[in-house]
Amino acid sequence: MPLLVLVRHGQSEANLANVFTGWLDVPLTPQGEEEARAAGRKLHGLRFDAAFCSTLLRSFRTLELILEEIGQPAIPVYATDALRERMYGALQGHNKLEAVHEYGAEQVARWRRGYDDAPPAGESLHHTLDRVVRYYDDTLVPALRAGRNLLVVSHGNTLRALRMQLDGLSVPEVEAMEIPTGAIRVYEFTPELVIQAVHDM
């Protein structure tokens, strides 16, 4: 039975600084590196045929540490822009509290959590879902149909979008969702790609 394992990257320096990160390429903090290793320890014993991450350092480094921890550093790894974090546009690089002061708490909350609300020159969660689901359908689904176990390390909003698709979440449910750094979700599929079990680690 094929597996799909989703992991959010470990804490980044921008997470620690409470900054809108988006496509900024920032490294993991020491805590983030430990969160990545801890995820690897939880996944010990699972065997993966391929791994996927975004082209941003915090995603790639988390995947690298997980693969080291589980003793599978040589499996094929595919880094793609399709799995990048949501683009935060004009908010990118700005402290979240400063953004609240400038734009107001209600507006910032809509930009952060809203499904269709995009910050200036940025993506909405809906836009993010469109590119992520396209990649899932075009790349991950054929591999799962071939019986392969896949590991995906990505970002909070990217994974919210993918989980909306996989879990059949409503707009209010996905708007309320928070995915902690280092969090793991495992999907077990039948050969026909029906989800038969889901669990968090």
Place of tokens 């394992």: 5
Q: Is 58 annotated as a binding residue?
A: yes
Q: Please, are residues 186 and 2 in contact by the beta-carbon 8 Å criterion?
A: no
pLDDT in the model for residue 81: 97
pLDDT for residue 104: 95
| pLDDT band at residue 5 under the 50/70/90 scheme | very high
Residue 80, pLDDT score: 98
One of 35, 64, 69, 85 is an active-site residue; which one? 85
Q: What is the CATH number of the domain that holds 16?
A: 3.40.50.1240
Residue 98 is among the residues annotated as catalytic for this protein? no
Options 9, 64, 69, 155, the catalytic residue: 9
Arithmetic mean of pLDDT, 54-79? 97
Q: How confident is the model at residue 53 (pLDDT cuts 50, 70, 90)?
A: very high
CB atoms within 10 A of CB 47: 11
37 is in an annotated binding site: no
- What pLDDT score does 147 carry? 97
The mean pLDDT value for 138-158 works out to 98
3-state SS, 97-163, equals HHHHHHHCHHHHHHHHHCCCCCCCCCCCHHHHHHHHHHHHHHHHHHHHHCCCCEEEEECHHHHHHHH
**CA–CA separation, 11 and 17 (whole Å):** 10
**Domain, as residue range, for 105:** 3-200
Instruction: Look up residue 119 and give its two tokens.
Output: 């910050």
Per-residue model confidence as pLDDT tens digits over 70-123:
999 999 999 999 999 999 999 999 999 999 999 999 999 999 989 999 999 999
How many domains, the chain? Answer: 1
88 labelled ligand-binding? yes
Q: How buried is residue 162: exposed, middle or buried, by Cβ count under 10 Å (0-12/13-18/19+)?
A: buried
Mean of pLDDT values over 158-173: 96
Q: Is 89 annotated as a binding residue?
A: no
42: tokens are: 């939880």
Confidence of residue 150 (pLDDT cuts 50, 70, 90): very high
Among the listed residues 80, 101, 73, the one whose alpha carbon sits nearest the alpha carbon of residue 153: 80
pTM for this model (two decimals): 0.96
Q: How far apart are the first and last CA of the chain?
A: 19
Token pair of 177, please?
């969702």
Is 164 exposed, middle or buried (CB count within 10 Å of its CB: 0-12, 13-18, 19+)?
buried
Annotated active-site residue 94? The verdict is: no
| Residue 149 in marked binding region | no
Q: According to the model, what pLDDT value does residue 54 have?
A: 98
Smallest CA-to-CA distance from 58 within 155, 159, 150 is with 155
The pLDDT-based confidence of 153 (bands split at 50, 70, 90) is: very high
CA angle (48 as vertex; 57, 58 as ends), nearest 5: 10
Mean pLDDT, rounded, for 40-44: 97
* Overall average pLDDT of the 119-141 stretch: 97
